[in-house]
Amino acid sequence: MERIWAPWRMEYIVGTTTKGDKKCFLCIDERHDEELLVIGRRGKAFVIMNKFPYTNGHIMVVPVRHTGSIEDLTDEELTDMMRLVKVMTEIFKEEFKVDGLNIGINIGRAAGAGLEEHVHIHVVPRWFGDANFMAVIGETRVISEHIMQTYKRLREKFVEKVF
The residue count for the chain? 163
DSSP SS3 for 37 = coil
| 120 is annotated as an active-site residue | yes
Q: Which of 32, 58, 118, 120 is catalytic?
A: 120
For residues 154 and 49, the answer to whether their CB atoms sit within 8 Å is yes
Q: Where are the alpha helices (DSSP H) in 16-115?
A: 75-95
For residues 35 and 155, the answer to whether their CB atoms sit within 8 Å is no
Strand blocks (E) in 19-162? 38-42, 45-49, 59-63, 100-104, 121-126
How many angstroms separate the CA atoms of 86 and 116, rounded?
24
- Known catalytic residues? 120
